[in-house]
Structure 1
Amino acid sequence: MASLSSAISNPGHILSPNALAHDVKPKKICYSQCHAFFLPPHRSPICRMGFVSGLERKKTLKSRIFASVTVDTPVNTSPEKVQLPKGDTWSVHKFGGTCMGSSERIKNVAKIVLSDDSERKFIVVSAMSKVTDMMYDLIYKAQSRDDSYLSALDAVLEKHRSTAFDLLDGDELGSFLAQLNHDVSNLKAMLRAIYIAGHATESFTDFVVGHGELWSAQMLSCVVRKNGVDCNWMDTREVLVVNPTSSNQVDPDFKESEERLEKWYSKNPSKTIVATGFIASTPQNIPTTLKRDGSDFSAAIMGALFKARQVTIWTDVDGVYSADPRKVSEAVILKTLSYQEAWEMSYFGANVLHPRTIIPVMRYDIPIIIRNVFNLAVPGTKICRSTEDEDGQGLESFVKGFATIDNLALVNVEG
C-alpha cells in the first residue's frame, strides 16, 4: 500500500481511500509548511483496481498532493575575505617621470607591464615629467600672492586633459576627466586659501604636489585595462604610513602599512595594480610625501610588503655606471652590485639610488634591477646580497666605481 510520504515524493501515485484509512497516521502540517494539499476525491472500485478511464485520469491529475517544507538553515551572507598573496608571484616595477612624460611614453610603459609574464604585478609611477616642479611652483606663486598661480594651474589641467584624450576614450575618458576636474576645483580652493594667508603649511604643500602621481596612476591603469587586463589603481595614501623624522625625512611604519595593505587588497583584489609613488600618509591620516626621490623609496617599501621576487627601477639610463659618463668617457655599465656597494656609491654622490631605497629590500633579500625604459635590449644592473654574479664571479672587488661630489671644499687646519 502506498503511504503519504511516497505520495509526496511521487505526485503521480494515486492514493486509495483504504490506503489513507489504514496506512496513514494523522500528522499535523503547519500552514507555512504546505503551499497546497488536495486529497483525491472518492473513486469507484474500477479506479481502485487500476482501470482508470480518461475522465477519471483527468480528475486524478487535478488531485495531486503538493507540499513544501521549509527548513531553517543559517546562511552566511557576509563576503568572504580575500587573502593577500605574498612572495615570488609578485614583481614590482617603478616608472619615473621621464618614463611617464607623454602619452606615447605612457603607452610604452603599458607595453612593458603587459609583457611581464609574472603572475602578479605591482606598478609604482611618478608624476608626468616636470609636473611635480609645476605643482611646487603653484605653491610658491600662491603664497607669494602672485595671481599667475591660476593660469599655472590651468596649464597643469590642460597637460593632463590633452594626455587623457590621446590615451583614453568612452567611459574611461569621461570618468578620468570628471575626477581631474574635481581635483583641480579642490586645488583651486586650497591655493586660494594659501594666497589669502600668504603661507603654505607642510601638509598643504604635500597635499597639492601629490596630485601628479594620482593622475598618472589613474591614466596608466586605464590604458592597461584598455588592453584587456584586469587592473586596479591604488592611492598609496590609503596604505603607506610613515612617521616624520627630525632630519626632514620619513620612516615607514611597516606593521601599520601591512595591515592597511591587506585591508585594501581584500576590497580591491587584482593581479595587476598601478600605485602612486612619492605620496603617503601619517598615522593621523594626514597626506604627506616621501620627499625627493620618494618614488624609488615607495617601490622598495611596497616590494618589502609584498615580499616580491624583485623590484625593477625603470629610468632613462642603461644601468649603474662605474663613474659619471659625462666626466669619465671610459665609464662602463656594472652588471652587478652588492647592497653595500650601491649604498656607499649613492651616499657619496653617485646617481644610483637614494640610500634609503636599499634598506627595505635588504630585509628580504629582494634584488633591485636598474633598467633603461628606452633600451630594453640592455639587461641593466642588478643590486643584490649575493656575492657572486651569474658567471660565478665575485661581486666585491677592490674598486667597483668612482663617485664624486661637486661644489665641495675641504679645509685642512693644522695647529
Structure 2
Amino acid sequence: MHVFKFGGASVKDANSVKNVSNIIGLFPNQKTIIVISAMGKVTNLLEEIIHAYWNQETSLKTLFADFKKFHDQITNELGLKSKDFELKKQTIYQTFSDRLNQKPSKNYNYEYDQLVPFGEIMSTTIVASYLQTLRKDVQWLDAREVVRTTNLYREARVKWDLTSQAYIEKVHPFFKTDSVIVTQGFIGQTDEGMTTTLGREGSDFTAAIFAFIGNAKSVTIWKDVPGMLNADPRYFNGTVLLKKISFKEAVELAYYGASVIHPKTIQPLQNKDIPLYIKSFLKPTDAGTVIQASTEYDQEVPSYIFKENQILVSLTPKDFSFVAEDHLTEIFATLAKQHIRVNLMQNSAISFSFLMDEKHDINTLVENFNETYKVRYNSGLQLLTIRHFNDETINRLTVNKTTILTQKSREMARIILK
C-alpha cells in the first residue's frame, strides 16, 4: 500500500481534479490511500465563515453562498450530475447550513473544528465521485472514523492504539475489493464523536498517520514545486533541488521554518523507515525529492530559511539579579500562556532575549513581564537560518543588512538581521 497526499493547490479547480486522476493512473495495480485537503483557498474562506458565525455577522449568508458557488462550479465542469452525487452534495450543504443556524458555544476552538472540516469533506466527495465515474475500484472514507484523537481542539493529539484498531476495522475491508481509498487530511474525531483538527497544514500528518498504521511502502506529497528546494524561490534565485536527504535533515529544516513538510509528518515515517517523496503534480514523472534514513547526502547543498516579521525581546530583572532557572521557568510559563513560540533565544548574566513572530500581541507581552522585568524590543527583523554554512555564504546573504545577533553551531548559523 502507498499513500498519496494532494494539497489545496493540486485540487483548486476542475482541471486540477482531472490531473489528480491522471497521476493516479500512472500507478496501476497499486493499492493507494489518497489524502486530500480542502480545494484551493477554501480553508481561508471557511475561516472567514467561522469568524462571521462566531460574531453573528450579516456577511455569514453571503460567505456560505460563496462556499457553495465555488464547489458547484467545479462539479458542473467535471460533469458530476448524477442523482447519487447531487444527494451527497446537498446533504453536505444542508448539514453545514444547519450547523451555522445554531448559536455558537463559548469555545471558539471547538466551533472552529466543527466547521472548517466541511472543506475536506466537500473536496474528497468531489474527487472520489469523479474518480468513480472513471473506474470501479474507488471508495470514499471518512477519516474521522479512523483517526481518533484527544479533545484538544485545533491541535488534537492522535490516540494511536484506537486509531490502529479503527484502521483495521474500516480500511482493511475496503482493500479486499478496491484499490483506491479517498479520504480527508487534517481531521479526526474524539471518543465522544466530536470533530477535531490536527493543526494547520496537518494534512501531511494525516498521510503519515495512515502510512504508519498501514505499514505503507511509501508516502508521496504532491506539490506545485519540483521537490524540496534548498531555499524559498521567493527570496533566492538559483535554488537547488534536494534530491535525497535524511529524516534527520528534513526534521531540522521543518523545525526551523522550511514550509514544504509539516514538522509532525516525519516522526512516524522515520519510526518505520517509510520513504517520503516530494513530487510535482505539474511534472509527475520527475524524480522529485526522497526523504529516507541515510544521512550520506545531507551536506551536499547548503539550505537557507528566511523568517520575516520577527520581534527580538530582551528582559532584564529589575532587581538586577542573575537570570537563573527560576526566572526561565517563569518566562516560559508566561510565553506558553500567550501561545508564543520562541524562534531563537540567548541569555547573559542579567538578561534573556528571545525572537518571536510579530503576529503576537507585543503590548500584552510587555504588560505580562513589566512588573518584574525591564522590557525592550526591536521589531521588523528577519531571521536567517543556514544549514551547512560557510563564511562566504554568510557574507553573501547578509550584504547591505545590519546584523543584530549571530549564533553558530557545527552545522547551523542563525542570524538576526535588520
Same topology, TM > 0.5: yes
- Asked if residue 299 in structure 1 is aligned to residue 207 in structure 2, the reply is yes
- The 8 Å contact of residues 145 and 198 in structure 1, kept in 2 or not, is answered as no
Structure 1 residue aligned with 2:101: 192
Relative to structure 1, the CA distance from residue 363 to residue 118 in structure 2 (aligned partners, 3 Å threshold; closer, same or farther) is: farther
Whether contact under 8 Å (2:105, 2:111) holds in the other structure is no
1:19 maps to: none
Letter in 2 for 1:262: I
Inter-partner Cα distance in structure 1 for 2:108 and 2:299: 48
Contact 1:143/1:200, CA 8 A, preserved across alignment? no
Q: Could you tell me how far 1:199 is from its partner in structure 2? A: 5.2
Matched, 1:174 2:106: no
CA distance, structure 1, for counterparts of residue 311 and residue 118 of structure 2: 39
* Residue 242 (structure 1) aligned to one of 139, 144, 149: 149
Q: Is 2:80–2:129's contact at 8 Å kept on the other side of the alignment?
A: no
Aligned twin of 1:67: none
Pick aligned residue for 1:360 from 268, 272, 294: 268
CA contact (8 A) 2:211 2:219 kept: yes
The 5-angstrom pairing of residues 71-110 of structure 1 reads 90-110=1-21
**Residues in 2 aligned to 1:302 and 1:202: alpha-carbon distance in whole angstroms:** 25
User: For residue 26 of structure 2, what is the aligned residue in structure 1?
Assistant: 115
Distance change in 2, residues 1:413/1:368 (3 Å):
closer
Amino acid corresponding to residue 176 of structure 1 in structure 2: F
Residue 193 of structure 1: SS of its match in structure 2? coil
Change (3 A) 1:212 1:330: same
Deviation at 1:409? 4.0
Which residue does 1:310 correspond to in 2?
218
Distance change in 2, residues 1:372/1:166 (3 Å)? same
What is the aligned partner in structure 2 of residue 69 from structure 1? none
Q: Secondary structure at the match of 2:130?
A: helix
- Structure possessing the higher relative contact order (Cα contacts under 8 Å, 6 or more residues apart): 1
3-state SS of paired residue (1:331) = coil
- Paired position in structure 2 for 1:27: none
Residue-pair matches, total: 315
Q: Distance in 2 between matches of 1:182 and 1:152?
A: 18
Structure 2 distance, partners of 1:405, 1:198, is 36
Specify the alignment match of 1:216 in structure 2: 123
- Deviation string 1:171-221 (CA, Å, 9 cap, x unpaired) is xx3222222222222222221223xx5856433321211011111111111
Which residue type is aligned with residue 222 of structure 1?
S
CA apart distance, 1:366: 0.4
Between 93-102 and 369-378, the greater mean CA deviation after superposition: 369-378
1:352, 1:367 → 2: CA distance? Answer: 16
Distance 1:166 1:399, change over 3 A: closer
In structure 1, what is the equivalent of residue 140 of structure 2? 233
Find 2:55's aligned residue among 137, 144, 149. Answer: 144
Is 181-190 or 404-413 further displaced after alignment?
Answer: 404-413
Cα shift at 1:257:
0.8
- The alpha carbon displacement at 1:244 in A equals 4.9
Identify if the C-alpha distance between structure 1 residues 374 and 399 changes in structure 2 by more than 3 Å, giving closer, same or farther: closer
CA–CA distance in 2 between the matches of 1:318 and 1:338?
Answer: 18
Q: Within 1, Cα distance between the matches of 2:172 and 2:284?
A: 35
Q: Is the 8 A contact 2:6 2:36 kept in 1?
A: yes
Deviation at residue 398 of structure 1 after TM alignment: 7.3
**Residue 99 of structure 1, CA deviation:** 0.3
Question: Structure 1 residue 128: deviation in Å?
Answer: 0.5
Gapped runs of 5+ residues in structure 1? 1-89, 388-393
Tell me which protein shows more strand as a share of its residues.
2
Which one-letter code corresponds to 2:68 in the other structure? L
Deviation at 1:324, TM superposition (A): 1.9
Q: CA 1:385/1:407 → structure 2, altered by over 3 Å: closer, same or farther? A: same
In the aligned structure 2, how far is the partner of 1:179 from the partner of 1:323?
A: 42
Cα gap change, 1:357/1:153 in structure 2, threshold over 3 Å: closer, same or farther?
same
Query: What SS does structure 2 have at the residue aligned with 1:403?
Result: strand
TM-score (norm: length of structure 1): 0.71
Q: Write the deviation string for residues 238-271 of structure 1: whole angstroms up to 9, x where unpaired.
A: 111122569x633222211111111113553421
Q: Is the 8 A contact 1:144 1:198 kept in 2?
A: no
CA distance in 2, matches of 1:301, 1:274: 15
Q: Matched residues, percent identical?
A: 29
In structure 1, what residue type is equivalent to 2:299?
S
- Residues 139 and 200 in structure 1, CA contact (< 8 A), matched pair in contact too: no
Find 1:160's aligned residue among 54, 65, 71: 71
**1:142–1:198 contact (8 Å) kept in structure 2:** no
